[in-house]
Amino acid sequence: SSLRGDDVGEATTQFRRLCRLLDKMSHTPILHRNTAARRKSRMHAMLKAMQEASAA
């Protein structure tokens, strides 16, 4: 996973792709919208921590 690596740009791209996928899935019975929001929030927190770590 890119969020476990060092490449912040790739992680950001993958995060955007994940958000689009979760949004699409949340409009179907596959995934509840709150579950999608929770997953996006957790991934965003990981991405933010990664960006702060690379900036320091």
pLDDT at 50 (0 to 100)? 93
Query: In whole angstroms, what separates CA 33 from the centre of its chain?
Result: 15
Q: How far apart are the first and last CA of the chain?
A: 22
Q: Tell me the torsion sign for CA atoms 22, 23, 25, 29.
A: positive
The pTM (predicted TM-score) of the whole model is 0.82
The domain limits of the chain are 2-55
Q: Quick: pLDDT tens for 1-56.
A: 555 667 899 999 999 999 999 999 999 999 999 999 999 999 999 999 999 998 87
